[in-house]
Structure 1
Amino acid sequence: MNFDLEGKRALVTGSSSGIGAGIAGTLAAEGVSVVVHGRNAERAVAVAERIRSEGGQAATAVGDLATEDGADGVAHAAVEAFGGIDILVNNAGGTSETGTQSWFALPVSEWGVTYQRNVLSAGYLIHALVPAMKENGWGRVIQIASAAGIIPTSGQPDYGPSKAAMINMSMGLSKALAGTGVTVNTVMPGMIMTDGLRDFLRIFAQRRGWGEDLDRAAEYVLKGTGQTVHRIGQVSDVAYAVAVLASPKAEFFNGMNLHIDGGATGSIY
């Protein structure tokens, strides 16, 4: 399918690895000039070089989006790279660096750190880049949330609620931009095979005496997810969804929260 994305310009935050890198590569393959972002310059450059080696157009913008100054610097570098940004993919995020997943062991002060990394970072870039999209009469804002945003767990007082906030803000922003030609949608991944998931499966397998049998660990974990598609999601599944929403052909898709979770989410919306 031709997504009609040739000549568009995108900033994909958190694209120096994982899901973000997959999104950047998929958009570039569709003719989008992509700005690869990360906090590690070496990794961001490696992703951009790989895109260029495959015939795509890519530049880099390095910085911490958790502060307004850092986000403004990234936005400025992205605009300078290709003369503007038409597609903003807010993929960067994460949790505080304590490694604690507990309602009572994780200090409440750390909840704000997670919220800042997921929600405020997206807000800073929306403020920096969306006004120009409005002026041009066309743009796409795509937020990468998580199934944790609508499926609360017992051990995430910070991460899940911050992703729920992203889903909520996307809907509100889509209404604020009504009639401007700029659409806002959320992609909500479930269990996706990233390096982080591989590490989890490896530890899971070792603790059960299965050695390095990640397939056995994945099979066991899948049974508890409620998925109706019986496989682990791939980065390409998320990247394809982003490409669809970024397309000019998707102008009637607005305010959506698209579940990319193999049918695991037990809710209608």
Structure 2
Amino acid sequence: MNLNLAGKRALVTGSSSGLGEATVRLLAAEGAAVVVHGRDEQRTQAVAEAIRANGGKADIAIGDLTGDDGADAVASAALAGGPVDILVNNAGAYRHLSWADATPDTWRDTYEGNVISGVRMIQRLVPFMRERGWGRVITIGGGLAVQPMHQHPQYNATLAARHNLAVSLARELRGTGVTSNVVAPGAILVEAVKDLLTEIAPARGWGESWEQIEQDATNELVPNDIERLGRPEEIATAVAFLASPLSGYISGATLRVDGGHIRGVA
């Protein structure tokens, strides 16, 4: 399917690795000019160069979005190559902490990095989308926003905030031609997840092969109807659709890409 992204320009925050990298690569393959964002210039540049080697258009933006100066630098770099039509707020982080270990400072830092960082980019880029009468804002959320677990409570709460702000933004953008939606991944197989599951597999009695470890980990930790972990490319596909002109009648929505892990009618 042609998503009609040629001529569009997209900034994907946190796109030097993982889900963000998969997303920026797919958007570029679909014809969008992309801005690869990260804090590590060498790693960010490597992603951009790989996209260019495949015939895509890619610039880079370097900066830490947990501060205004970094957000200003990223917005400036992104806009230097032309107007940004698509903003994918993907950047964020989490730590596996218990309620006892997650101090108030940890909660504050997590909220700064996972919520306010996205607000900074919205405030710097969305006004220009409104002026042009077209734009897409996609926030990467997650199932823990609606079905939190007892672990890493500070992260669960920031996902809920990301979902909430995306819907509030959709209401604010009513009638402007700019939409705001959420893609909510389930457990996704990135390198860090594979390393973690392989490390804890022996203590949990999971299989020795990666195929068996994945199946056992899925059944025990994130049971779903597909019976495996998701792949970054599957999240990127959902983002690319919501970023395209074909999604013009979708706003304030959450698209769950989790194999059916989250149960619900909405």
TM-score, normalization by structure 2 = 0.96
CA separation in 1, counterparts of 2:127 and 2:265? 33
**Are residues 1:104 and 2:118 paired?**
no
CA separation in 1, counterparts of 2:265 and 2:68? 36
**Are residues 1:259 and 2:256 paired?**
yes
Instruction: Give the aligned CA root-mean-square deviation in angstroms.
Output: 1.3
CA separation in 2, counterparts of 1:253 and 1:204? 40
Kindly state the Cα deviation for residue 89 of structure 1 after the two structures are TM-superposed: 0.2
CA separation in 2, counterparts of 1:248 and 1:100? 38
Match for 2:210: what amino acid? Answer: L
Kindly state the Cα deviation for residue 213 of structure 1 after the two structures are TM-superposed: 2.3
CA separation in 2, counterparts of 1:196 and 1:260? 19
CA separation in 2, counterparts of 1:115 and 1:213? 37
> Secondary structure at 1:34's aligned position in 2?
strand
Partner residue in 2 for 1:63: 63
Partner residue in 1 for 2:195: 199
2:102 and 2:152 in contact (8 A); partners too: no
Partner residue in 2 for 1:5: 5
Alignment of 1:41-190 (within 5 A): 41-80=41-80, 82-95=81-94, 99=95, 101-190=97-186
> Secondary structure at 1:158's aligned position in 2?
helix
Q: What are the superposed Cα offsets for residues 211-269 of structure 1, whole Å, 9 maximum, x if unpaired?
A: 85222211112213231112221111100000100110110010011100000002233
2:129 and 2:135 in contact (8 A); partners too: yes
TM-score, normalization by structure 1 = 0.95
1:202 and 1:213 in contact (8 A); partners too: no
CA separation in 2, counterparts of 1:232 and 1:110? 28
Identify the range of structure 1 (155-164 vs 203-212) with the bigger mean alpha-carbon deviation: 203-212
> Secondary structure at 1:223's aligned position in 2?
helix
Kindly state the Cα deviation for residue 208 of structure 1 after the two structures are TM-superposed: 4.3
CA separation in 2, counterparts of 1:255 and 1:238? 18
CA separation in 2, counterparts of 1:210 and 1:267? 29
**Distance change in 2, residues 1:162/1:27 (3 Å):** same
CA separation in 2, counterparts of 1:121 and 1:9? 20
Partner residue in 2 for 1:249: 246
Kindly state the Cα deviation for residue 103 of structure 1 after the two structures are TM-superposed: 0.6
Q: How many residues align?
A: 265
Q: What are the superposed Cα offsets for residues 32-65 of structure 1, whole Å, 9 maximum, x if unpaired?
A: 0000000110110010001001110001001100
Runs of 4+ in structure 1 deviating by more than 6 angstroms, as ranges, are none
CA separation in 2, counterparts of 1:126 and 1:109? 25
CA separation in 2, counterparts of 1:128 and 1:166? 17
- Percent identity reads 45
CA separation in 2, counterparts of 1:16 and 1:176? 30
Identify the range of structure 1 (18-27 vs 221-230) with the bigger mean alpha-carbon deviation: 221-230
